[in-house]
Chains A and B, each alone.
Chain A
């Protein structure tokens, strides 16, 4: 069941803002009760996704990262405002970034809507 306390951050799609999103994620995950290791996992996965998007040099100025507090997990959705349908990894799922993201998170999925690039989640019970 989704609770009514999602958090969204909208930041410029620039390398210098990745650490800000990382800090935000850390605060949210901590508040939800994730332990230190799980918080580190989430921070790393978020940074990898953002770095990959920035590397692509897509024609977007800003990115929205939404954190949904679910009953037993944290869902993180990366949204590029505008009509968007590009694949973040495409065929290159063998690189370091994909290996890291898929190992650290419980689920990773390409966006189902046009402006969602990727969504991923981490279960809370794994951290207990």
Chain B
């Protein structure tokens, strides 16, 4: 299971905190929750992945869809503090160059 909560804004960026596991079972709920949280995509979004333990290719596809929505309005999606096993998937799929990957502040 996964959990998505919206944190307080930080320098004009919306903070979304992810935790748990995103796989084929939880992906539909994750997609709905993420797109609800992003809304019309009119501000930068930071996904705090500190407590995200697992994501699969379906979850990565949803992140790409979210990025597209933000990019339409010239905003961006930041992936913050992902665990090494998750960062590895971004690297394998080439997505580390598509998203802005940042370490925890």
Contacting A at CB under 8 A, from B35-61, are 54, 56-58, 60-61
Task: For the A-B complex with A40-B85, A104-B92 known, give 20 more contacts whose Cβ atoms are closer than 8 Å.
Answer: A15-B23, A16-B25, A18-B23, A18-B25, A19-B21, A37-B84, A44-B54, A47-B24, A48-B57, A51-B23, A55-B24, A96-B57, A96-B60, A99-B93, A99-B94, A100-B57, A100-B89, A100-B92, A100-B93, A103-B92
Bound Cα distance from A19 to B24, whole angstroms: 9
What 1/0 flags go to B21-32 for Cβ under 8 Å of A?
101110000000
Chain B residues near A (Cβ < 8 Å): 21, 23-25, 54, 56-58, 60-61, 84-85, 89, 92-94
Bound Cα distance from A22 to B24, whole angstroms: 12
Docked-complex contact A96 and B61, CB < 8 angstroms: yes
List of 6 A-B pairs having minimum Cβ-Cβ separation, nearest first:
A96-B57, A15-B25, A51-B24, A40-B85, A15-B24, A97-B57
Bound Cα distance from A99 to B93, whole angstroms: 6
What 1/0 flags go to A15-34 for Cβ under 8 Å of B?
11011001000000000000
Chain A residues near B (Cβ < 8 Å): 15-16, 18-19, 22, 37, 40, 43-44, 47-48, 50-51, 54-55, 95-97, 99-100, 103-104
Contact of A19 among B23, B58, B93 (CB under 8 A): B23
Closest to B89 in A: A100
Docked-complex contact B57 and A95, CB < 8 angstroms: yes
List B contacts of A50 (CB < 8 A): 24
Within the complex, the shortest CB–CB distance from B62 to chain A, in Å, comes to: 11
Bound Cα distance from A16 to B100, whole angstroms: 31
List A contacts of B56 (CB < 8 A): 44, 47-48, 51, 100
Within the complex, the shortest CB–CB distance from A38 to chain B, in Å, comes to: 11
List B contacts of A47 (CB < 8 A): 23-24, 56
